[in-house]
Chains A and B, each alone.
Chain A
């Protein structure tokens, strides 16, 4: 180790932090610990230390992948055995070791939206520094909480617009980071307002067609973005030198916290053992009153919730595996990491044919070239479920 450190000779201006002194803090940073300011400054300027950090993160991600692969599945046998077996099973341990199917699980996170009443389709990307932002409506309600790269190498493509409904109409917008300087972020915002009596269709085409306005937002300060005929939406954000807990690969637990679910891509949907669809996205939310949905191209949406809802069929969930039966066919949805903690064993699912789940949902022209995922409030979704 000493020999390795000896190669690091860079020094920070105005300070005496060198790679050797910074190295332990780099390890602590991976653990989600606070590090001294001068070390953070050194880290920002030192390629050697950045490389060490990246490798530590890669190693951590690999270890979690190994954990997922090797996780014993006996718990499933305990959960899903007959009731009599369940009651006495803890000392009657079985020997079989069925492994969780393997998927790549690397440094992949994440554009994650945690939503209240809204619905969003989310996509994954990569970054080292992060811009965490929140978009509020004119009434102060949270329309979107997002997390995206603070230093995109190229402007991120827009996902579908975020759509929120108010008493007077519908607000739809997209936000993307165009550039970052380290001290401020240049955002591109497209937003439209459709009053209640206006034609609500075609949002997916109208939002991208709206002019994109550029704004510089300084972390910690409020940015007001005018929207025609609506008023203003407000964007606030902050820069992060690491992903927040639970969204940070180095902090990610094997199982989500109790009361939360997490969907990590890729997902695979099997029907009677045959591949129906693969791909998907990342997201998380609370299990209570929320849903997630997986879109299989040419087949439609599979809506999942952790409580019964009208028209839904009960299935079983065990770590990263959901099993259910619809119309006599056996389905399995597999995710790259456990979706819920081991105390959750029941899940409800409903199939909804067609590309649109709710009336206001944008549908992209290339919808059937890839799968996607959706997250949101269950009651809201049920109220606005499309009749198509």
Chain B
């Protein structure tokens, strides 16, 4: 935590070297998370860039006693993504995340089912499974109670599983 505070203080002083290191460590992670919220890599990169710029210009919104700088960054990113959706003219359905290809039929179905989840569920699962955030960290990023994190993760997994099973059954019927 002391390191976090020091890093934050350096960023507050305009130390671009400190910020560069923080950026390098977290850009890919933030983009991965935002891609779940926004549906495609291009937009995710844009919003991630805006998020970093926001942090660079206004680092004082971070309070070390409330969590880590990375949690704060992801929290800003989440709000920026929500803002992006609000500003976007409605064009119909939400974009599905880009496919990454698959090794097997099963992995293809699991991946496809994941892409059909809502953005909130995708991003929650992403933060937990890929980023390894704890329930407390997730609560901080998403601004929800810890107990809600647990129940939402369960609901997301069940929904994902339900879609996957439905797709599997459909595949069997089709063949």
What's the minimum C-beta distance from A78 to chain B, rounded to whole angstroms?
A: 6
Specify which chain B residues have a CB less than 8 angstroms from the CB of A164 in the assembled complex: none
- Cα of A66 to Cα of B130 in the assembled complex, Å: 9
Residues B118-171 near A (CB distance < 8 A): 125-126, 128-132, 135, 150-151, 153-155, 157-162, 164
Contact B150 A33 (CB under 8 A): yes
Residues B11-28 near A (CB distance < 8 A): 16-17, 19-21, 23-25, 27-28
The 4 A-B pairs at the shortest CB distance, nearest first, are namely A27-B154, A90-B23, A253-B132, A69-B100
Contact B130 A64 (CB under 8 A): yes
Contact B25 A63 (CB under 8 A): no
Specify which chain A residues have a CB less than 8 angstroms from the CB of B103 in the assembled complex: 65, 102, 104
User: Which of B49, B100, B129, B132: most chain A CB closer than 10 A?
Assistant: B129
In the complex with contacts A24-B154, A72-B28, A97-B41, A63-B20 CB distance below 8 A: no
In the complex with contacts A27-B150, A59-B110, A93-B28 CB distance below 8 A: no
Contact B100 A70 (CB under 8 A): yes
Specify which chain A residues have a CB less than 8 angstroms from the CB of B158 in the assembled complex: 1, 4, 23, 27
In the complex with contacts A1-B162, A69-B100, A97-B41, A58-B130 CB distance below 8 A: no
Contact B161 A65 (CB under 8 A): no
Interface status of A343 (Cβ within 8 A of chain B): yes
Contact B161 A55 (CB under 8 A): yes
Interface status of A342 (Cβ within 8 A of chain B): yes
Contact A70 B157 (CB under 8 A): no
In the complex with contacts A75-B24, A79-B24, A27-B16 CB distance below 8 A: no
Over the window 20-57 of chain A, the binary record of Cβ atoms lying under 8 Å from chain B Cβ atoms (1 yes, 0 no) is 00011001101101000000000000000000100110
Interface status of A250 (Cβ within 8 A of chain B): yes
Over the window 320-357 of chain A, the binary record of Cβ atoms lying under 8 Å from chain B Cβ atoms (1 yes, 0 no) is 00000000000000000000011100000000000000
Chain A interface size band reads 35 or more
Interface status of B116 (Cβ within 8 A of chain A): no
Q: What are 10 A-B interface contacts by the 8 Å CB criterion?
A: A27-B157, A55-B161, A71-B28, A72-B41, A90-B23, A90-B52, A91-B52, A250-B129, A254-B132, A342-B28
What's the minimum C-beta distance from A71 to chain B, rounded to whole angstroms?
A: 6
What's the minimum C-beta distance from B15 to chain A, rounded to whole angstroms?
A: 12
- Cα of A352 to Cα of B162 in the assembled complex, Å: 52
- How many interface contacts (CB-CB < 8 Å) are there between A and B? 128
Specify which chain B residues have a CB less than 8 angstroms from the CB of A73 in the assembled complex: 28
- Interface size counted on chain B using CB atoms at 8 A: 50
Contact A63 B155 (CB under 8 A): no
Over the window 1-43 of chain B, the binary record of Cβ atoms lying under 8 Å from chain A Cβ atoms (1 yes, 0 no) is 0000000000000001101110111011101100100000100
The secondary structure that dominates the B interface is: helix
Contact B20 A69 (CB under 8 A): no
What's the minimum C-beta distance from B77 to chain A, rounded to whole angstroms?
A: 14
Contact B20 A23 (CB under 8 A): no
- Cα of A63 to Cα of B122 in the assembled complex, Å: 10
In the complex with contacts A23-B154, A27-B157, A28-B154, A63-B164 CB distance below 8 A: no
What's the minimum C-beta distance from A145 to chain B, rounded to whole angstroms?
A: 22
Contact B25 A71 (CB under 8 A): no
Contact B110 A62 (CB under 8 A): yes
Specify which chain B residues have a CB less than 8 angstroms from the CB of A250 in the assembled complex: 129
- Cα of A387 to Cα of B158 in the assembled complex, Å: 58
Specify which chain B residues have a CB less than 8 angstroms from the CB of A71 in the assembled complex: 28, 32
Residues A84-111 near B (CB distance < 8 A): 86-91, 93, 95, 97, 99, 102, 104
- Cα of A86 to Cα of B27 in the assembled complex, Å: 14
Question: Beyond the given A63-B126, A67-B32, could you list 16 further A-B residue pairs with CB under 8 A, ordered by the A residue number?
Answer: A1-B155, A23-B158, A31-B150, A59-B164, A60-B129, A64-B130, A66-B100, A70-B98, A71-B32, A74-B28, A75-B27, A90-B16, A93-B45, A104-B103, A251-B132, A252-B132
In the complex with contacts A67-B32, A70-B32, A24-B130 CB distance below 8 A: no
Specify which chain A residues have a CB less than 8 angstroms from the CB of B17 in the assembled complex: 87
